[in-house]
Amino acid sequence: MNLTQDELAEFLLEKADQFESRDFIPDDPVSIPHGYPDVADAAMAGLFTALIAWGNRKAILNSAVGMMERMDHAPDQFVRQAARKEVERAFKGFVHRTFQPQDVVVLCAGLQQALSGGRSLESLFSGGDAFSRLSSFHDLVFADMHGPHRTRKHVADPRKGSAAKRLNMYLRWMVRPAARGVDLGLWNTMQPADLMIPLDVHTSNIGRRLGLLQRTANDWKAVEELTASLRQVDPVDPVRLDFALFGLGAIEGF
């Protein structure tokens, strides 16, 4: 597309408004935390849903619903209080792609330790920019890890170059305002201006096609580059344009 900078900005904002609507929710993983009116349950449901959010969206939703059922639809209480044996029994036979029962066991144990003393999930992402928050969360969850090292791969670490798509998406859900009905706006220790784009094949491909991203690898440097481009369009809420890029790629086949 041969658009001026102003025309491109207008196009992206129009598409963001088009796709950020309640019609987006039913087929998207964000529908899972929307099912919990309690803030703590919504945050925990959102975290576990985000951690398995790769692949076909229908499969993600089916697996996420299964996870919540195994947690008796009280995910915050389950993660905070369930003994290791209880988690093992509850998740026996659960598999989502490479995410297996042992990974749930390790994550629950790590989160129990990190959340001890009544800490909130939000507090585990506190302080600094998005890079620092994600790095800190990874360290807190695995500070006293008892289990297979393989589970670390399910909690992205931007220090290793990961684009951290799923965790950036989770932060979008938690931080962006709920005014348009899609994101939940549950946390206020981080501002929408500080969020980073959840970079996936759709957002990256559309970003390159529109001249917003030059880097060929889908890594953290690409996240920084694309987010910087989106801040030129909307410095206050750049990640609202995630809806435009994802919708153009995944829904419209732009």
Q: pTM to 2 decimals?
A: 0.96
Average pLDDT of the segment spanning 99-107: 95
Query: So what's the pLDDT on residue 193?
Result: 97
20-59 tens-digit pLDDT = 999 999 999 999 999 999 999 999 999 999 999 998 899 9
Over the chain, what is the mean pLDDT? 95
Residue 35: both structure tokens together? 């099912």
pLDDT-derived band at 133 (thresholds 50, 70, 90) equals: very high
Residue 97: both structure tokens together? 């792609």
Query: So what's the pLDDT on residue 2?
Result: 78
8 A C-beta contact, residue 49 and residue 205: no
Average pLDDT of the segment spanning 201-206: 96
Query: So what's the pLDDT on residue 55?
Result: 87
Residue 36: both structure tokens together? 């919990």
pLDDT-derived band at 147 (thresholds 50, 70, 90) equals: low
Residue 149: how many CB atoms within 10 A of its CB?
Answer: 9
Residue 134 domain boundaries? 5-251
2-26 tens-digit pLDDT = 789 999 999 999 999 999 999 999 9
Instruction: Tell me the C-alpha to C-alpha distance, in Å, between residue 18 and each of 12, 121, 164, 244.
Output: 10, 31, 26, 8
Query: So what's the pLDDT on residue 204?
Result: 98
Count of domains in the chain? 1
Handedness of CA 235, 45, 48, 188 (dihedral sign): positive
